[in-house]
Amino acid sequence: MGSFHRRTALTRAAIVAAVAAATLSPAPGWAQEPSAEDQLDDVREQAAAVAAEMDVIEAEDAEIQAALATIQTNVAGQRVVVNAASDAAAVADAEVAASQAAIDELEVEIVALDAAADQVLIDAYIDPPLDHALDVFKAETLADATVKTAIVEIQTQADTDAIEDLDEAQSALEVERAAQEELAAEAATKKAEADAAMAELETALAQQTAFATEVEARLNAKLSEAQSLAASDAALSQQILAEQAAVAAALQAAEAQPSGSASTIAPAPGGLATVTCPSGGSITVAGSISSNVQGLLDASSAAGVSLCGGGYRDPQAQIELRKAHCGTSQYAIYEMPSSQCSPPTARPGSSMHEQGLAIDFTCNGGGTVSRGSSCWNWLSSNANSYGLFNLPSESWHWSTNGN
């Protein structure tokens, strides 16, 4: 059959030479829509995640709430882009699959048409059309000649149609394969865009979680500080609690789930000791820093500045608050994020006060130390010499590590 098939192309060409070549309409073009990458650029421009550059410890509450809202907007925008990119990739894959199905159908059709065309050539070889044409001249009557001519024409047209159908199917197959290559390239592009969008979303989510964890730690510290101030400055304590409730609400609204870990309450190093304030009263601190604190109080008094305040706070008080506000399980007491309690409540062990290593100073027998006061100015100049450092966001709070 090999030599026969080599003759096939030439014979087919001769048979269809007088027949106009069939044409196929060009495949419609695809509408040009913004790519997922373009949409992602828009999201970046509209909601840049600024939290990475923010110092959570020193930030104002309003700044933190704004950053949480910005991150939430960013994540939501990234999700929109991921969904759009994934949908586009799915559509592109479906188009490739549809094209492959069309190719499979054409290949089956071509096999059948090829067999039919081969049969035309076999029949033409065994029973040449010319013989039928000569039969017309052998007809006894004009009517017989007319019938024989019609039969020859019908047979010739049928043979020609069979070969034309084959050629058209082969042309259609070539067009479909070319279209499939374009569709496959488009699908690969859409897949890459979807992967890039997902990577951006994962980055945004990681940033959201990291920032939420920092905010949660700050929230714990602030809430603990409010509890420590309850006795020495009730008004300031209530103000801090109200402010941190707003931060906790913003944290929950941002949908971030900060990682929780079991709280540990380290004992006060050196046990507990009481130091006396020269103007009256006393402060309970860790034994390891008691001599330094006593020296600071005596030195400030000699300089005409009267300092006292609150130091150690029993962790059991915080545990009882957690039971009331968060729940009584081990997780609720020691691990649940403070923002998920009602009202928000710091985890036990989150404050330096619980180790006796922090002091909230009061000034001249009044409320807590405020920035710019004589007490603040003296502490700013001298406290470091006694191993105590200020938490920048809280003028009254001084500890061994500045937290």
Tell me what the pLDDT averaged over the chain comes to.
Answer: 80
Domain-located, residue 290: yes
Residue 48's pLDDT is 46
Final residue belonging to a domain, choices 167, 194, 224 = 224
Helix axes 142-229, 234-253, angle to 10 degrees: 170
Decide if 388 is inside a domain. yes
The whole-number pLDDT of residue 392 equals 86
Do 97 and 39 reside in the same domain of the chain?
A: yes
170: in domain: yes
Whether 218 and 291 map to the same domain: the answer is: no
pLDDT at residue 17 tops 60: no
Per-residue pLDDT at 254? 80
Residue partners of 392: CB distance under 8 A and separation at least 6: 57, 58
Is 77 contained in some domain? yes
286 and 156 within one domain: no
| 150 and 285, same domain (yes or no) | no
Q: Could you say which of 224, 252, 284 is where a domain stops?
A: 224
Q: Is the pLDDT of residue 163 over 90?
A: no
Are both 153 and 277 inside the same structural domain? no
Q: Looking at the domain assignment, is residue 301 inside a domain?
A: yes
Q: 1 in a domain, yes or no? A: no
What was the pLDDT predicted at 385?
Answer: 96
- Do 56 and 176 reside in the same domain of the chain? yes
Of 108-117, 136-145, 314-323, 360-369, the least confident: 136-145
Q: Which phi and psi angles does 55 have, rounded to 5°?
A: -85, 105
In a domain, 362, yes or no: yes
Whether the per-residue pLDDT at 45 is higher than 60: the answer is no
Domain total of the chain: 2
Structure tokens at 321: 């608050």
- Give the pLDDT score at 136: 45
Q: Do 82 and 29 lie in a common domain?
A: yes
Query: Mind listing the pLDDT tens digit for each residue in 335-381?
Result: 898 988 999 998 898 889 999 999 999 999 989 999 999 999 999 99
Residue 387's identity, in one-letter code, is G
CATH of the domain at 394: 3.30.1380.10
Nearest Cα to Cα of residue 307 among 239, 230, 386, 238: 386
In a domain, residue 328? The reply is no
Is residue 218 within 8 Å of residue 170, measured between CB atoms?
no
Distance between CA atoms of residues 252 and 152, nearest Å: 86
For the record, the structure tokens of 28 come out as 């419609």
- Residue where a domain terminates, one of 167, 197, 224: 224
- What is the predicted pLDDT for the residue at 58? 73
Question: Is there a contact between 171 and 178 (Cβ–Cβ < 8 Å)?
Answer: no
User: 383, 350, 379: which is closest to 226 by C-alpha?
Assistant: 350
Helix orientation angle between 2-15 and 142-229, rounded to the nearest 10 degrees: 100
Q: Are residues 218 and 266 in the same domain?
A: no
List, in order, residues 6 or more apart from 170 with CB less than 8 Å away. 110
Q: Look at residue 209 in the predicted model and tell me its pLDDT.
A: 85
Q: Say if residue 177 is exposed, middle or buried (CB neighbours under 10 Å; 0-12, 13-18, 19+).
A: middle
Residues 57 and 189 in one domain: yes
What Cα–Cα distance (Å) separates residue 32 from each residue in 35, 92, 115, 189? Answer: 9, 14, 43, 14
Mean pLDDT of all residues in 392-402: 92
Instruction: Check residue 236 and give its pLDDT.
Output: 92
Q: Say how far apart CA 381 and CA 396 lie, in whole Å.
A: 14
Are residues 269 and 139 both part of a single domain?
Answer: no
Is residue 334 a contact partner of residue 354, using CB atoms and an 8 Å limit? no
- How would you write the chain as a 3-class SS string? CHHHHHHHHHHHHHHCCCCCCCCCCCCCCCCCCCCHHHHHHHHHHHCCCCHHHCCCCCCCHHHHHHHHHHHHHHHHHHHHHHHHHHHHHHHHHHHHHHHHHHHHHHHHHHHHHHHHHHHHHHHHHHCCHHHHHHHHHCCCCHHHHHHHHHHHHHHHHHHHHHHHHHHHHHHHHHHHHHHHHHHHHHHHHHHHHHHHHHHHHHHHHHHHHHHHHHHHHHHHHHHHHHHHHCCCCHHHHHHHHHHHHHHHHHHHHCCCCCCCCCCCCCCCCCCEEEEECCCCCEEEEEHHHHHHHHHHHHHHHHCCCCEEEECCCCHHHHHHHHHHHCCCCHHHHHCCCHHHCCCCCCCCCCCHHHHCCEEEEEECCCCECCCCCHHHHHHHHHHHHHCCEEECCEEEEEECCCC
What's the mean pLDDT in 126-139?
52
Look at strands 394-399 and 389-391 and give their pairing.
antiparallel
Cα radius of gyration rounded to whole Å, the chain: 43
> So what's the pLDDT on residue 159?
62
What is residue 203's predicted lDDT score, i.e. its pLDDT? 85
Question: Could you give the CA distance from residue 63 to residue 230 in angstroms, rounded to a whole number?
Answer: 26
Q: Which of 390, 384, 319 is nearest to 358 (CA)?
A: 390
303: containing domain: 262-313+351-399
Band the pLDDT of 5: cuts 50, 70, 90: very low
Give the Cβ contact number of residue 215 at 10 Å.
27
User: What pLDDT was estimated at residue 140?
Assistant: 56
- Assess whether 217 and 267 both reside in one domain: no
- Residues 88 and 187 both lie in one domain: yes
